[in-house]
Chains A and B, each alone.
Chain A
């Protein structure tokens, strides 16, 4: 059973470009979470999605960031018009059921975004 798959693992973008990060959850998992780890900071929650629904986006910046988890295909975290402050590691996690009910979540290896 493959783990949470993220790609690309490393991405370099110039200021003003768009970054798209993809996450395929573990097989059988329908709950996806995105976290961001800024340099020298801890991981911060961004968004929680189920298939075709955004459940909690309280950690998402108000502008330029969006996330989706379509019925078919991976979850996508999209960052428009990137700035240097967006440089970070973006981690995706998944769980089979509602994490609040006590299920462990499993993290991917992360996507490292560098904005130059």
Chain B
């Protein structure tokens, strides 16, 4: 069964801290992995897409890594800001289907 787990479920940090969100998946036969951000009552915004052949992707203060063999991905956020407060979703791509984790709720305090 394809399952995706995200740890921690919630995280509260002061502004300026670097932080790591974790994602693990049970089926390593992935096509790709995508990190999203979801604000309350809103849709999903794509942050980073990592192909199965890649090890990491970077965009601005965000860096995502992928270790297929161990079934893990991390999202690193540098110098966190209050505007980063949102739910972060890890989604593993199996063909044309995404399997989502339950998300990490991030709160960055000013």
Q: Do A and B bind each other?
A: yes
Contact residues of B with A, CB < 8 Å? 4, 31-32, 34, 36, 41-46, 49, 51, 89, 91, 93, 95-103
Q: What is the bound-complex CA distance between A17 and B98, given in angstroms?
A: 30
Q: With A42-B89, A42-B102, A43-B89 given, is the CB distance from A106 to B46 under 8 Å?
A: yes
Among B42, B43, B91, B93, the residue within 8 A (CB) of A100 is B93
Among B42, B45, B49, B100, the residue within 8 A (CB) of A43 is B100
Among A4, A98, A100, A104, the residue within 8 A (CB) of B34 is A104
Question: Could you tell me the distance in whole angstroms from the C-beta of B78 to the nearest C-beta in chain A?
Answer: 22
- Is there contact, CB below 8 Å, between A99 and B46? no
Number of residue pairs spanning A and B whose beta carbons lie under 8 angstroms apart:
65
- Is there contact, CB below 8 Å, between A33 and B96? yes
Q: What is the bound-complex CA distance between A9 and B48, given in angstroms?
A: 26
Question: Most chain-B Cβ atoms within 10 A of its Cβ — which of A59, A98, A102, A108?
Answer: A102
**Main secondary structure on B side of the interface with A:** strand
Q: List 9 A-B contacts (CB under 8 A).
A: A33-B98, A35-B100, A41-B102, A56-B95, A99-B98, A100-B96, A102-B49, A106-B46, A107-B36
- Is there contact, CB below 8 Å, between B44 and A107? yes
Among B4, B31, B32, B43, the residue within 8 A (CB) of A108 is B43
Q: What is the bound-complex CA distance between A42 and B9, given in angstroms?
A: 12
Instruction: Give chain A residues whose Cβ lies under 8 Å from the Cβ of B36.
Output: 107
